[in-house]
Amino acid sequence: MHLPTPDDPLDPEAQRAADKRRLASAAKGSVVFVLALVIVFGLQGLGDYRAFAVEPRVLAGLPGLFSAPLLHGSPEHLVANATALLLLGTLALAVYPRATLRALPLMWLGSGLGAWLLGDAGSFHLGASGVTHGLMFLVFVLGLLRRDRPSIAAGMIAFLFYGGMLLTVLPQEPGVSWQSHLGGAVGGIVAAFLLRRADPVPPRRRYSWEIEEEEAERLAQAERDTFEPGSPQDVPVLWKREPREDEERGVVLRFPPRER
């Protein structure tokens, strides 16, 4: 799949200002979400937070699909997920603001469903790591599908910092919920295919060498049109003889036989 890339923006200054505002909004959204996780982590000590986690294949564990990504088991767990959310969340919201917001429910619920369906009986799954995996796979797959410059750059940045998430969707360490990682990743991939056209392609900057190549190709084509004759079918008919009504057509002229 390849989306057509528009030409240069009509107002480059206004475009740069809009890009800065979008990046600032993306960073603010990621910071607000991380602050919410910090607040929830501070409130966890008031009671047994396992009641809000995902317990696999137990009906009482289904409400955890909505609350488990907000919970964390330790400060180290929270810091690891918060760092990934700040980078991947800002990257996704800056490049794909519409697709990211619409994909969040798929990644959120996919993380919980993966833990509920594949987790070990009697275990409890919590944390936003499934959402972070969903964001990484969303950005990476959208870069492969859209293939415009901002998408490719975002996919490369996400893979550079968190390419290891391609392996953490499989069993690695005991105590790490690879099931929620897998569920969030599947949600991100599905969202990438469904929402690949949700955000318009930004205007592309044209470089001087591209303009020079186009001008050289135009001149070469004009030179070929000048020296190469056109097709006979392209020659216009200047005059066409109309037959008369009394004119006989299809007359065979007979020649006398040759004397031997």
Tens digits of per-residue pLDDT, 169-182? 998 888 889 999 99
**Dihedral (CA of 187, 191, 194, 196) sign:** negative
**141 within some domain:** yes
Measured in degrees and rounded to the nearest 5, phi and psi for residue 227 equal -100, -15
The tokens of 90 are what? 């800002």
Q: What's the CATH code of the domain at 158? A: 1.20.1540.10
For the chain, the first-to-last Cα distance in angstroms comes to 80
**167 within some domain:** yes
Classified as helix, coil or strand, 176 is coil
| Domain limits for position 107 | 12-194
**Dihedral (CA of 168, 170, 174, 177) sign:** positive
The tokens of 28 are what? 């603010």
Give residue for tokens 């240069």: 8
Say if residues 168 and 176 touch (Cβ distance below 8 Å). Answer: yes
The tokens of 137 are what? 């796979």
Distance CA 7, CA 14 (A): 15
Q: According to the model, what pLDDT value does residue 101 have?
A: 94
Measured in degrees and rounded to the nearest 5, phi and psi for residue 125 equal -120, 130
DSSP letter (8 states) at residue 74: S
**138 within some domain:** yes
Classified as helix, coil or strand, 208 is helix
**17 within some domain:** yes
**112 within some domain:** yes
The tokens of 22 are what? 């979008």
* Number of domains the chain contains: 1
Q: Angle formed by the axes of helices 129-146 and 149-162, to 10°? A: 140
Say if residues 130 and 65 touch (Cβ distance below 8 Å). Answer: no
- Give the angle subtended at the CA of 153 by the CAs of 148 and 156, to the nearest 5°: 125
Q: What is the mean pLDDT of each run of 10 residues along the chain (260 residues)?
A: 54 78 92 95 86 91 92 92 95 94 95 93 91 96 91 93 92 88 96 93 68 78 69 72 67 73
Distance CA 78, CA 76 (A): 5
**250 within some domain:** no
**223 within some domain:** no
**CA neighbor of 125 nearest in space, from 49, 18, 191:** 49
Classified as helix, coil or strand, 54 is strand
Q: According to the model, what pLDDT value does residue 46 have?
A: 83
Helices within the chain (DSSP H only): 12-43, 64-67, 75-95, 97-118, 129-146, 149-162, 178-194, 208-227
**CA neighbor of 58 nearest in space, from 154, 125, 141:** 125
Structure confidence by residue, pLDDT tens digits, 83-92: 999 999 999 9
Q: According to the model, what pLDDT value does residue 212 have?
A: 77
- Total count of residues recorded for the chain: 260
**199 within some domain:** no
